[in-house]
Chain A
Amino acid sequence: MEAPDTFLQLPLTIDPATKAISSADSTLSADLDDLNKLHRTLLALETPQQTPPPPAPVHPKRSVQINKLRESGNASYKKGDFSGAITLYNLAMRMASERPSWEASGLVREELSALYNNRAQVHMAQQNWAEGSVDAECSVELKRVGNLKGWWRRGVCLKEMGRTEEAADWVKTGLEFERVGPEKDKVAELESLLKEVNKGLEKP
């Protein structure tokens, strides 16, 4: 870092109409793209000073919409309309990830984790073990503890694909996380899955 009282004057130009920043220097293009995108989202803000509000109290509008989409996805799944369910879940996921980036990341994690779990379930119902396992992995990545279903789903997918050693490791890790989590009384399901997987390991 250079001295605090000096800086490098970069060759930036601003377009008066769109107020976008551009530069002759091409190495800055990525940074300037981010800047212009952020600028546009800031302009849409309703706060009095047009500064991002503190991350904590989030406007519930978007969460409500995401929930509605998730519920309709669940309904489609129950009816057996798998592709429709997947489309709805995808839409909900896009909404969740396009939230302004200064809003609480914990909320994003919760929503995305639930959505990935549901999408994994739909994939499993269609026997798409590969997609199901990847989605379940995403869900667990976002929420490690208290996510019994996510651990269980990927374990089942790995087992179905024949990757029994991976499945055994995965379920063991899941059990370690969940045994100290809020759902520790319900680990019986995971334990029975582990037993099945181990049986598969010992067979031939």
Chain B
Amino acid sequence: MALLRRPLLVLLLVVTHQFLQLWIVFGSVNEEGQKQEEFFEELLLKPLPDRKLLTHFHFQSSAPPSSNGRHHHLFPKAISQLVQKFRVKEMELSFTQGRWNYESWGGFDSIPSSNAKPPGVELWAVFDVPQHLIDALWKNLTHTLSGLFCASINFLESSTAYSAPEWSFPPASGNLRYGTLPREAVCTENLTPWLKLLPCRDKAGISMLLDRPSIYRGFYHSQRLHLTSTGSGSEGLDPGIILEQTLTVVLLPNSQRASLARASEKHIQPSWSLRSIFGKEVSGKCVLAENSNVYLLLDRGLVAELKQLHKEDEESAEKVLASENYWTNPIFELSAKPDRIFIEESSLLSKNSSILYKFEVEKYSESEPFDLGLTWKIPVVWLCQQAPLHASRFLMGSGNERGAIAISLKSTQSCEGFTGANFDDERCELRVDVFQVVPWYVKVYFHSLQVFVDQQPKAVSDIIEKIHVSPSKDKVSPGVMELVLKLPCSVSSAALTIEFDKGFLHIDEYPPDANQGFDIPSAIVSFPNFHASMVFLENDSLNKSPLLSKFQEKSPVMSYTEVLLVPLTTPDFSMPYNVITITCTVFALYFGSLLNALRRRVAEEERFLKDKAAKKSGRLPLLLSKLSAKLRGRHSEPPHSTPGSSSLVNSKLVFKVILVAGLAVCWQYYFS
């Protein structure tokens, strides 16, 4: 039977293999009703006002709900297994190094509000299971991800490290768990497993540009993985999954010219090309990708500035910028011809609209690689659109006992469509959500919350519409504070302060670098009334591009505050050693005296002493005996005059010793 069965098995394998191959080959051509797994690769480039360049890689693979079990063509199997096993409905994991500069890189677009992340690792996940199972699943998930991405995400397993926000975190849902590791160092070893999830890895297509040295030379890089599973596997179907992988890098184009001619060329934006940034070019698309596009985004502020520069022409600058003969543009020059140009629909919020140039990588090949370059001709200065309020957070106070956390919100005057956002008849109000997690050893007193609006103290109930607080439990759970603030629209500055005591940790709870201090993770400040979205005029082809459809989604404007470093009292870590030493000393003393007491017979000793004293004579021993008697609290008895031989020997011995020592000293002194 066994013999028979084996060839059968082999045959079956061969047949299925053949079938699979056929299926893969014709998979893309398969025009049946069933949806296919898809992969998109896109790259967005955006010049930033402070001479830097934002590059945003966006890869999306999607697997439709299917019943054919474990087999995937393009979709990474690890992810689908993870989704199935842990019943993840939505999850986001980000690795970030550096800080997103909200002031100069903007805080209102959809790129900063969904891709600007706090330094270190941030993970949140929504589970599709009943409440009581979530924590167990979260713990397993952290371990799996930790293995998958070579990072210490497993530290999020402990209940002191994660929290369950109720409603202030944007994908608000009861089944959410949220955790951050602000101190995690991000490195290539986290990027490699992330690249492994792409069907072409970094061997073809846009991902070829991911040159490690140039990425990690950047001022900010954030590598993000977002997955949503649609249609839970209810009737035996596997859930459909959309996996979105983004890498956001802010780079400084290194132009040699700028360093050479410092004074004169200082104000002109540096020119760049893909080759000069990444040292590589794109030679065609990844064959497995549905489409592969590169976009160049000129944001609203920049377009407005360009319009200003064009004013003398009196003709619509938009037309010039959008027209086909872009290279005649007197302000900048593109090295490649865009395939399409999108203009943003002007919205209520701003009169200006951004412009998007689209380049299709498909048309380029090995022999003719794609290299996009932008050369500025005249200096341009613009500002990125900012979130209505700029949030910053800092520590107050000094000393090792207590302190205070302050979140200050400052109005950014540049936001022009500010008042148009939320009309409540006369009372215009600005809603701000604050979500703050505080580790347990920073013991926050929630009653000490104070609110200041425009430098005037306000009653907490006037400003805070809704508050949810879950106090920390020592060594069990962190403190979570969720707030909804209603500020008047005319607010220029607002501040929240809350006081805390610094707790004590057990000696083995300290990390190895305890003297560095302890981190308080970033607070999240979001503005639910403001939505970052860009709606483009020509809607027909946008459905094909996940990046652009992402832009059109209405996502609330979010910003992260700084990570704070709280110096806590640290014990003297050599203390265990000292304790051991002192305990040993105490033990030795105790046992020594115990033995002494057991061994000693008092009466006999008295007699012995008397005998000894009787035998003593000589000057020096007399003195010594007097001294010792004094020390013993006893009167020296007059020595008997019978000189014994032993005392003679004794005094002689002392003399001899002194003589020898003296001789040695003299010898040493004169002959060395």
- Are A and B subunits of one complex? no
Chain A interfacial positions (CB closer than 8 Å to B): none
